Structure 1
């Protein structure tokens, strides 16, 4: 059975944010390997990881490659974690297939593996914790078409990345499913880019140049969202193009205020990190987890609700 956790359930745990675990002899070791360590999403996940590490008395490390395409470096980090005696690994995988061998080797060495945020195709993983990405894609689709008159034609440009990640694919699939049910909406074109702001901006600008009818741009992670927002700003297109994105960043939130972005599908990376370490500690202790997946909730944030007290707590958890 799939289990869904609402963000508010972790309000008490969030009070511990920013605390680091201490290292004592006999502590169990959980290695957290992210897609990168440079985004606000993963910084917030790290806060959740460290809070749970304090509460459950485990030692943690938090590492990731320099960019979100470098699955080889991520595989090397998995191997190093095994070599360094990790009891469990939390993995946000860059590649859905090309990390399977590294995970298989870890499991052979007795390491428990939980995927967080982005999964892999291996059945050796003990649990997935993160957003229900297909459902979140559908949510983004509904946000994309909201505000248009029923007879208005909606022309959508998608910006997605080249990385072979499970979450990006599922979000796009869910988005397409939602749009297919809207008779006056169509997906006009897609730009495939790297998962960084500059590449996403260039892809979005190309869509706006080549398909002047586009009136919605959508991206499925933090970097793609920033690139879309910058492209809309550079094209002075905020009045005619709705920007729909994922995740929170100081810049993307400011784009809600200034109009380059119209809606953000906000995840809960703190909860993902916290629950990951909590359940890794349970696995290490010999417990059996009662669900193969735990899905954390998402919230659509727009200019109308961004100043609501509960939304502000979600946008600015640790500032």
Structure 2
């Protein structure tokens, strides 16, 4: 073999080895750095629902949300809980409009006032998005169904409890969450009708708290100053009884003033254990939320849904409360 041939042969071997090295290197780069990563599993849902409350962080509505989320998990639903941070009808309406614009499969909300909510609910339903009212009905709208308390009946129950507990002798002040919201109006009406025939019971004043415990307390203080003869209160929203109880305790009138409240928030139960709140109306917010989601699924899937479903409502008195560990130890008696 000539020198030239040996040189060419050697050069060929070197070129081959270098080529193999580069191929191995770039092959390694491709395998380890350029292969697409395993895609994250995208969860698919059957439907997309909106739950729009009166007030986002309201403790009562958080219980409704909890029930709705439990149903959403059970039935594989994407559920969004959106609404005003504080009770505001304009913000509430805008949230419903935005939900409809996003073309969700269904909207669950309150029908707080016929004048404002009925036209909007009608427009949403006419666009093909079903609406279920929860807790507060808009009975004159095109909403498909309502689930929640019979608010007239709940007020009636509160009135009957007051009659029984005061032996039909009381000067009553009512603090209501709102003068314009359907559920609050119905609760006051039911209470009035329950006590109407009792000659010993007089409704002295009715004030509005705007669903605020601070304002409920302010109104309770004003009532006691302006009407010292008042010896009983009915609070028609979850926060009203709490605000009233704060004032009654501050002025040490627990034994002189009867309070019937609404709902079973922890503060309400604490005031009941101390004897400040004597009775409260019990609703079922978890059940409302859970069943609202299930009803919406049934609607979309063509099943027949009753137009009105009333959840359980009853009166809870101090004697009905389970004995706590503190009570067993003789505390707060």
TM-score by length of 1: 0.84
Of structures 1 and 2, the larger Rg is shown by 2
User: 2:51 — aligned with what?
Assistant: 32
For the residues of structure 1 that align with 2:227 and 2:111, how far apart are their CA atoms? 33
Q: RMSD of aligned C-alpha atoms?
A: 1.8
User: 1:127 — aligned with what?
Assistant: 145
Does residue 250 of the first structure (1) align with residue 266 of the second (2)?
yes
Q: 1:59 to 1:299 in 2, by over 3 A?
A: same
* Per-residue deviation, 1:200: 0.8
Residue pair 1:94, 1:163 contacting (<8 A) in 2 also: no
Does residue 189 of the first structure (1) align with residue 205 of the second (2)?
yes
Residue pair 1:32, 1:63 contacting (<8 A) in 2 also: yes
Q: 1:175 to 1:48 in 2, by over 3 A?
A: same
Count of matched residue pairs: 284
The ranges of structure 1 where at least 4 consecutive aligned residues each deviate by more than 4 angstroms after the TM superposition are none
Q: 1:71 to 1:149 in 2, by over 3 A?
A: closer
Deviations 1:181-239 (A, max 9, x none): 22211111112232101111111111111111111111111111211111211221111
Does residue 81 of the first structure (1) align with residue 99 of the second (2)?
yes
* Per-residue deviation, 1:102: 2.4
Secondary structure of 1:286 counterpart:
coil
User: 1:146 — aligned with what?
Assistant: 164
Secondary structure of 1:98 counterpart:
helix
Q: 1:137 to 1:90 in 2, by over 3 A?
A: same
* Per-residue deviation, 1:308: 6.6
Q: How does 1:1-319 map to 2 (within 5 A)?
A: 24-25=43-44, 27-68=46-87, 70-149=88-167, 153-162=169-178, 164-289=180-305, 291-307=306-322
Q: 1:143 to 1:285 in 2, by over 3 A?
A: same
Residue pair 1:132, 1:296 contacting (<8 A) in 2 also: yes
Deviations 1:44-102 (A, max 9, x none): 1111101111222221111221222x111111111111122211110123433212232
More helix by share: 2
Q: 1:236 to 1:27 in 2, by over 3 A?
A: same
Q: Which moved more, 1:42-51 or 1:140-149?
A: 140-149
Residue pair 1:87, 1:112 contacting (<8 A) in 2 also: yes
Residue pair 1:219, 1:245 contacting (<8 A) in 2 also: yes
Q: Which moved more, 1:97-106 or 1:229-238?
A: 97-106
Residue pair 2:122, 2:141 contacting (<8 A) in 1 also: no
Q: Which has the higher contact order (CA 8 A, sep 6+)?
A: 1
Residue pair 1:142, 1:178 contacting (<8 A) in 2 also: yes
User: 2:9 — aligned with what?
Assistant: none
Residue pair 2:179, 2:185 contacting (<8 A) in 1 also: no
Residue pair 1:200, 1:223 contacting (<8 A) in 2 also: yes
Deviations 1:228-255 (A, max 9, x none): 1112112211110011110121111100
